[in-house]
Amino acid sequence: MNAIPQAAALTPEHAAATARTARWTVADVEALYQLPLMDLIFRAQQVHREHFDANEIQLSTLLSVKTGGCSEDCGYCSQSARYQTETGREALLPLDEVVAAAQAAKDQGASRFCMGAAWRGPKDKDLAKVGEMIRAVKSLGLETCVTLGMLKDGQASELKEAGLDYYNHNLDTDASFYGQVITTHRHADRIDTLGQVREAGIKVCSGGIIGMGESRRNRAALIVQLANLNPPPESVPINHLVPIPGTPLADVAPIDGFEFVRTIAAARITMPSSFVRLSAGRQAMAEELQALCFLAGANSIFYGDKLLTTGNPETDRDQVLFEKLGLRPI
């Protein structure tokens, strides 16, 4: 990191102020990537154990409450109206279906329920309906998260009033690579929405997708852009691209598993007190690769048989994995 005075020479107030203004550089994070894997994982473990119980894992369950027909052109997404994919277009789900899915998630052991909508951003009439969903899910005793796209002035406060705990809005990739994947909105628009979420007092969930043809430097820059948010997101989903037939990224060459593990470790080291979520892509990962991700500091997963439109490991398979690794759901 930039020249930071030794903590021992500082008063606690000065140390806290310094930590708040500390900025990671792309060179810092590239240097992490270049460490021998054993050293990188050791460092990530040290940081992880200073901030968390390394045997605990947070479980979030996803539900697509409004699927398909999205106006945006995100090159990885099954739900864009611009690509011929297997995902159809559906209306907003009725409240009772959402509540039933949330209750089932709670019964399976999830602590957070995340509702996703294939929108560029919500219309005000949609937001009122999502507000009802948030109230109902919260009353079941679950943490609530929604991911609805870009927010306009006042919308974040409405979500906060409904009792929303987290808003998910991913930076997705490095600002300099963004235009190669998405042209219908800008990286800066995403940052703007994250600012509105923060201002409304909602916790931020923001991460990205790895394996879209970006370079290691792009990956390091994405981690820097997340870590330098002030404060960093409380929750950081690291998705492995799920290639979707019919999308522009359907045939991108997959990245090496160790490069993915390095990305998790870089997220853990740069965002020590955030939950780092091993997100999309687990279905294609061996248990051993997932365990390496946990060793590198991932302490959260999407839990449930489906992500938004694609598959995820079955809950009973995940429970066996937790048993094998001695992981305890939070």
Q: Please identify every residue annotated as catalytic.
A: 70, 74, 77, 114, 145, 205, 277
One symbol per residue from 129 to 158: x for binding ligand DTB (CB under 6 A), - otherwise; what is it? ------------------x-----------
Q: Which of 58, 60, 61, 80 binds ligand SF4 (CB under 6 A)?
A: 80
Report, in Å, the least distance between residue 172 CB and ligand SF4. Answer: 8
Please list the helix, strand and coil fractions of the chain in percent, rounded to the nearest 5, in that order: 40, 15, 40
CA atoms within 13 A on the CB side of 65: 31
Q: What is the DSSP string of 189-247?
A: HHHHHHHHHHHTTPEEE--EEE-SS--HHHHHHHHHHHHTSSSPPSEEEEEEP---TTS
Q: Of residues 141-160, which lie at the interface with ligand SF4 (CB under 6 A)?
A: 149
Residue 242 touching ligand SAM (CB under 6 A): yes
Q: Are strands 328-329 and 56-66 parallel, antiparallel or unpaired?
A: parallel
206 binds, among ligand DTB, ligand SAM, ligand SF4, none (CB under 5 to 8 A by kind): none
Distance (Å, whole) CA 226 – CA 123: 27
Q: Does residue 197 interact with ligand SAM by CB under 6 A?
A: no
Q: Are 140 and 102 in contact (CB under 8 A)?
A: yes
What does 80 bind: ligand DTB, ligand SAM, ligand SF4, none (CB cut-off 5 to 8 Å by kind)?
A: ligand SF4
Q: Which CB sits closer to ligand SAM, 41 or 238?
A: 238
**Omega prior to 122 cis, within 30 of 0:** no
C-beta of residue 299 within 8 angstroms of C-beta of residue 238: no
Smallest gap, in angstroms, from Cβ of residue 272 to ligand SAM? 23
Q: Residue 169 touches which of ligand DTB, ligand SAM, ligand SF4, none (CB < 5 to 8 A by kind)?
A: ligand SAM
CA distance 149 to 164: 15
- The nearest distance, CB 159 to ligand SAM, in angstroms, is 14
Q: How far is 110 from 102, CA to CA, in rounded Å?
A: 9
Rounded distance between C-alpha atoms, residue 121 and residue 149, angstroms: 4
| Dihedral, CA of residue 281, residue 282, residue 285 and residue 290, to nearest 10 | 130
For ligand SF4, the binding residues in 33-72 under the rule CB under 6 A are 70, 72
Q: By CB under 6 A, name the one of 68, 75, 116, 248 that touches ligand SAM.
A: 116
Task: Specify the residue, 222 or 280, whose C-beta has the smaller distance to ligand SAM.
Answer: 280
Longest dimension (CA), the chain: 60
**Site string (78-107) toward ligand DTB, x via CB under 6 A:** x-----------------------------
Residues 232-291 interacting with ligand DTB (rule: CB under 6 A): 237, 239, 242, 279-280
| Residues binding ligand SAM (CB under 6 A) | 76-77, 79, 116, 118-119, 147, 149, 169-170, 172, 209, 239, 241-242, 244, 280, 308
